[in-house]
Amino acid sequence: MPRPRVSEADVTTARSGSLDIDTRLSGTVNQLLDLFASTAPDELAVRFFESDASYEDVTAQQLRHRAWGIAELLRRHAPAGSRVLFLLPPGIDYIASFFGCLEAGMIAVPAYPLDAKNVRASLSRLSGMARDCEPAIALTAASDGVDTSDLPLAETGLADVRWLDVEHAVPTSTLTLEATQDPEQTALLQYTSGSTGNPRGVMVTHRNLLENLTAMYVAYGHNPGDALASWLPPYHDMGLIAGILLPIYGTATGYHMAPRTFVRNPELWLKSISDGAVTTTFAPNFAFDHIVSRVPKENLEGLDLSSWRRAINGAEPVRPDTLRRFAQHLEPPG
């Protein structure tokens, strides 16, 4: 993701506001959730939409307790510093697992979840990544319908990996483990897709992430009380850093859904923005075309999008014609 330009004046203004920028910059990424849960435990942290009629909410405190439970589960099976392969679908468990992994002092390795309809192809795609990073643990979800007990793991570099079902983690209000929390530690291995060659990983430290989050928060003019909405995949850098981490950084509510939910029902995304008074979204250019083509103007009646101040467009070429059509189409609801 391109880093927004931030001036010294911007940083000075942010530091004079109610968000404690310096505390965030001096800590680790998992401490962002600790700070959110300590200062606003009952604040809605995440709402995840499964469908128009189904969603799950967690407060900041509940999310922290789920993350702690996952941290305890991970540390029962591997030491601090181990790599954890994320094979989870989008959802609250993914978000809690990311923070739990960092709380355990481990390194997160986001990857596409296994495809229950074509597991062997999924494993083939993972093999280059697994051989490179040598994960100790692979996090999965039994509800995905993938049986990991009869997989050809030896030929994919995953034979020695411990497969853990995140749904077995029990939320806890106390954390017994201790891990060294160093901002210079690697927090994340971000891999390329591997579509044009072997996947290549970038070592991203806690400090890298915190400086990028600060740059986004300051440059985009965020304030406490803002809300963000994202349907981007969490294993993509924009989906993870902007969609998941930025709301936690700013003690803001994140409204989330899976990419397939948005593709099938882009109107639900607009409804979440309206109902949650969302101020900021991140999406690629195609999303704006998709809304114009799939959401007729009569379906916009009753929506209030006046809170939406930042519709950040990236990750693929930005087309001015798309944005003009989008602005005209959504002018009636604000």
Instruction: Report the alpha-carbon distance of residue 80 to residue 180 in Å, rounded.
Output: 8
The encoded tokens of residue 300 equal 């916009």
CA distance readout (Å), 292 to 167, 232, 256, 286 = 38, 18, 20, 10
For 255, phi then psi, to 5°, come to -105, 120
Cα distance between the two ends of the chain: 28
CA–CA distance, 273 with 330 (Å, rounded to integer) = 13
CB 226 within 8 A of CB 102: no
Phi, psi of 319 (to 5 degrees): -110, 115
Return the pLDDT at 150: 63
CA distance 166 to 94: 9
pTM for the predicted model, two decimal places: 0.90
Rounded-to-integer distance, Cα 334 and Cα 332, Å:
5
Report the C-alpha gap between 231 and 212 in whole angstroms: 20
Q: What is the pLDDT of residues 269-314, one digit of tens each?
A: 999 999 999 999 999 999 999 999 999 989 999 999 999 999 998 8
How far is the C-alpha of 216 from the C-alpha of 236, rounded, in Å? 17
Tell me the C-alpha distance between 244 and 241, whole Å.
6
pLDDT tier for residue 194 given thresholds of 50, 70 and 90: low
**Residue of 135, 186, 187, 179 lying closest to 161 (CA atoms):** 135
Cβ–Cβ < 8 Å for 274, 303: yes
Lowest mean pLDDT among 1-10, 113-122, 257-266: 1-10
Which residue from 78, 122, 74 is spatially nearest to 97, judged by alpha carbons? Answer: 74
Mean pLDDT of 161-183: 87
Instruction: Provide mean pLDDT across the span 252-256.
Output: 96
pLDDT at position 179: 65
- CA dihedral (191, 194, 198, 200) in degrees, to 10, reads -20
DSSP secondary structure, 136-169, as one string: SEEEE-GGG---GGG---GGGT-TTPEEEEGGG-
Structural tokens at position 29: 């990424």
Give the SS3 label for residue 265: coil
Mean pLDDT of 152-178: 83
Q: Is the pLDDT of residue 15 over 50?
A: no
The tens digit of pLDDT for each residue in 68-87 reads 999 999 999 999 999 999 99
The pLDDT tens digits of the residues spanning 151-164 come to 666 666 677 889 89
